[in-house]
């Protein structure tokens, strides 16, 4: 996202079919062609500022972040403002297919666990707990394109 959020609401642009928010700038810049998609950079925990873009409230929005403790905290943060946000490539299947890319990290939680748990689906919550307690991390930039492209093409859009 290059323009400030307040500018998005002043711009006259057609509402996209769907929106994809990525956590990582490189992932955003290397996305395949996604017809009808408006792709935005979430910028980590600053992602909640995007909820101030009016058109996101009427558009199917997906979030793609790292499969780690902070990635799920960020997903919970945006979902607390945009409750219908779907996660993308943040699941057991992606983790299993990229097992050799998983790293170990030992980080502290940024958000209260009760808040995070309240804004994740049961499946996401289980994977978040696995990452938090197992200290595992799969950065979205380490996921191979042969995993990314079919998953993105399967998104509702």
Structural domain spans, the chain: 5-153
Q: What is the pLDDT of residue 29?
A: 94
Decide: pTM greater than 0.85: yes
Name the burial class of residue 144, with classes exposed (0-12), middle (13-18) and buried (19+) by CB atoms within 10 angstroms of its CB. exposed
When computed from its CA atoms, the radius of gyration of the chain, rounded to whole angstroms, is: 15
| Cα angle 80, 26, 67; round to 5 | 45
Per-position b or e across 94-115, b if 16+ CB within 10 A of its CB:
bbebbeebbeeeeeeeebeeee
Strand 86-87 relative to strand 60-64, pairing: parallel
81-112 pLDDT, tens digit each: 999 999 999 999 999 999 999 999 989 999 99
20-33 pLDDT, tens digit each: 999 999 999 999 99
5-153: what CATH class?
Answer: alpha beta
């Amino acid at each position: 996202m290059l323009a400030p959020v307040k500018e998005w609401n002043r711009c006259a642009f057609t509402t996209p079919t769907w929106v994809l928010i990525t956590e990582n700038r490189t992932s955003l810049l290397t996305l395949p062609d996604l017809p009808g998609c408006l792709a935005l950079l979430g910028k980590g925990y600053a992602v909640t500022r995007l909820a101030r873009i009016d058109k996101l409230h009427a558009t199917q929005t997906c979030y793609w972040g790292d499969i780690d403790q902070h990635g799920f905290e960020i997903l919970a943060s945006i979902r607390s403002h945009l409750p219908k946000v779907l996660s993308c490539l943040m699941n057991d299947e992606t983790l299993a297919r990229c097992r050799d890319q998983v790293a170990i990290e030992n980080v502290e939680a940024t958000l209260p666990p009760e808040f995070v748990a309240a804004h994740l689906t049961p499946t996401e919550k289980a994977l978040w707990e696995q990452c938090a307690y197992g200290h595992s991390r799969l950065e979205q930039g380490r996921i191979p394109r042969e995993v990314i492209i079919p998953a993105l093409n399967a998104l509702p859009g």
